[in-house]
Structure formats: structure tokens, C-alpha cells
Amino acid sequence: QVRLTESGGGLVQAGGSLRLSCEVSRSFFSIAIMGWYRQAPGKQRELVGTIDSGGYLKYADSVKGRFTISRDNAKNTAYLQMNSLKPEDTAVYYCNVVRKAQYGRGEYWGQGTQVTVSS
């Protein structure tokens, strides 16, 4: 079992910044890919971006150049730095991990953290 604990959400004005954190209860060495997703009211959950075990990053077009994913292996924590926030970024943000095959390839989700961007 892997537990993901998110933090850092809140209310911010348009143009502002927030940093979300996702602490993973297992070593990042066991993680194949880690992703950030978001779900706005009335909409489907969508991918924000991912980082794989090799450090390769991928972002949704809607957040490229504004959001940055990083990780601290020593703390088993991943981050989502969000700059130049827009009202349309308002959503519940979730972190997600998929473990490597040799660790069972399970998929796990965090509880979500609310981000609200006011205009």
C-alpha cells in the first residue's frame, strides 16, 4: 500500500503562485511515474503533467510554461509549482503514482487539494 499526502492548496488571485506538495509513503525508487491531475466542477479529471523515474517531464498544453513538476528523492516528495495562475486553473488537484513492475505496478491517488484562483 502506498499513501500519498497532498498539501499546499488554497485561494490565490489571478497571476499569483502556489506550490503543491505530494509526500509519498514509499521510496521514489519504487515509482515508475508520478503525475498531477486536476478536476474542475462538472468536468472530467485531466492530466496536468508527469515525471517518470528517469526525470522526464511532460505537461498539458494548458499549463506549459506556467507549471513545473519537481521532486526531492530524499524526502519522497514531489512538487507542482504553479505560476501565473488563471481562474480556469481552479480545480481539485490530485497526485498519482504508478509503481514499477517489480513492486506490483499498483496505482495510487492522493486525497486531493483545492486550488481556487479568483479573478
What residues contact residue 83 under an 8 Å CB cut-off, 6+ apart? 17, 66, 67, 68
The span from the CA of 92 to the CA of 38, in Å, is 5
What is residue 28's predicted lDDT score, i.e. its pLDDT? 85
In this structure, how many other beta carbons lie within 10 angstroms of the beta carbon of residue 32? 16
Per-residue model confidence (pLDDT) at position 99: 94
User: Cβ of 119: how many Cβ atoms within 10 Å?
Assistant: 9
Give the integer Cα–Cα distance in Å for 48 and 18: 15
Per-residue pLDDT tens for 99-119? 999 988 999 999 999 999 999
Instruction: Tell me the pLDDT tens digit for each residue of 50-109.
Output: 999 999 999 999 999 999 999 998 999 999 999 999 999 999 999 999 999 998 899 999
Q: Which residues contact 51 (CB under 8 A, 6 or more apart)?
A: 33, 34, 35, 57, 58, 69, 70, 71, 78
Q: What cell was used for 112?
A: 486531493
